[in-house]
């Protein structure tokens, strides 16, 4: 009996393995993020409010190897107010040219009044454009950054690492926002800045889904 057991043991030791489980390697953490990154269609237009994987974009305190996935601005429709006003103000001197106060002015003064008017108008439109252009939300493969410009002399930059994101809320209130597909994405974080708002950004559902994918 002892001999038989010993024989079985020898047979067992000499038998080739029929199946050997391959050691499973956990994919590196960046792999999952890269796949989300790859699914996004590249949008390069500099005036776009939804820029995907932009080239040549960088920001203050960008970490080495940190890739910008999304640059978000307010939807173009939010600029409609000042653009319409600008168009109206361009033609305003044509209305005022017949006013008695203007007609009384000598030609040189008339010219200076018109030049001054257009200088003021350019300043007004340029300032509005700057605030829209530089008021951005940035999503990278490591964090979210919200750069806010309130006027030309007040700026606010808030950021949070992706791991600190606790909750992503989507707000799309009103018919205009639904029709043109824009809204707010509010990100609750455990970072120093406990709330990051991306206001009136296009495709908020896509953004919130992307953020959920990145933080999962």
Partner 1 sequence: MIDLNIAVNDLFNLSPWPIIKFFFLVALLIYIIFAFILVRQVSVMDKIFHSRFNVFIKLISIALFVLSVVVLLIVLKFL
Catalog residues that contact partner 1 under the rule CB under 8 A: 46-47, 54-60, 71, 106, 108-109, 112, 115-116, 119-120, 122-123, 126-127, 130, 133-134, 136, 138, 147, 149, 152-153, 155, 157
Minimum CB separation from partner 1 for residue 115, in Å?
Answer: 6
* Rounded least distance, CB 152 to partner 1, Å: 5
Tokens of 122: 């350019």
The SS3 assignment for 9 reads: helix
CB of 40 to partner 1, least distance (A): 18
Residue placing its CB nearer to partner 1 in the complex, 97 or 152 = 152
61 φ/ψ sector (left φ>0, alpha ψ -120 to 50, else beta): left
Q: Which two tokens stand for residue 90?
A: 């361009």
3-state SS class at 185: strand
Say which residue the tokens 């791991």 belong to. Answer: 163
Residue 68 or 165: the one with the smaller Cβ distance to partner 1 is: 68
Q: How far is the CB of 148 from partner 1 (least distance, A)?
A: 11
- Specify the residue, 27 or 46, whose C-beta has the smaller distance to partner 1: 46
170 DSSP assignment: E
Tell me how far apart the alpha carbons of residues 13 and 17 are, in angstroms, rounded to a whole number: 10
1 DSSP 8-state letter: -
Q: How far is it, in rounded angstroms, from Cα 175 to Cα 181?
A: 10
Toward partner 1, which CB reaches closer, 6 or 126? 126
Q: How far is the CB of 164 from partner 1 (least distance, A)?
A: 21
CB 137, min distance to partner 1, A: 10
Q: Is 178 helix (H, G, I), strand (E, B) or coil?
A: helix
Residue 36 or 125 having the CB closest to partner 1: 125
Report the C-alpha gap between 14 and 152 in whole angstroms.
81
Query: In this structure, are residues 189 and 196 in contact, taking their beta carbons and an 8 Å threshold?
Result: yes
- Give residues with Cβ within 8 angstroms of 44, minimum separation 6: 51, 54, 55
Closer residue to partner 1 (CB): 6 or 109:
109
């Amino acid at each position: 009996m002892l001999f038989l057991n010993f024989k079985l043991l020898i047979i067992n030791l000499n038998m080739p393995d029929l199946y050997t489980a391959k050691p499973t390697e956990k994919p590196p953490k960046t792999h999952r993020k890269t796949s989300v990154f790859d699914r996004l269609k590249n949008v390069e237009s500099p005036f776009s409010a939804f820029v995907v994987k932009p080239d040549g974009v960088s920001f203050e305190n960008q970490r080495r190897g940190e890739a910008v996935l999304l640059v978000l601005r307010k939807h173009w429709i939010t600029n409609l107010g000042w653009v319409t006003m600008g168009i109206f103000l361009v033609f305003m001197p044509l209305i005022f040219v017949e006013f008695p106060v203007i007609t009384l002015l000598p030609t040189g003064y008339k010219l200076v009044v018109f030049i001054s008017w257009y200088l003021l108008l350019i300043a007004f439109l340029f300032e509005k454009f700057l605030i829209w252009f530089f008021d951005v939300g940035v999503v990278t493969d490591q964090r979210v950054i919200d750069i806010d410009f309130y006027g030309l002399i007040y700026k606010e930059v808030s950021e949070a690492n992706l791991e600190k994101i606790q909750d992503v809320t989507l707000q799309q209130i009103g018919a205009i926002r639904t029709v043109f597909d824009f809204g707010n994405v509010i990100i609750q974080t455990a970072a120093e800045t406990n709330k990051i708002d991306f206001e009136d950004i296009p495709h908020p559902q896509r953004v919130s889904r992307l953020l959920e994918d990145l933080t999962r």
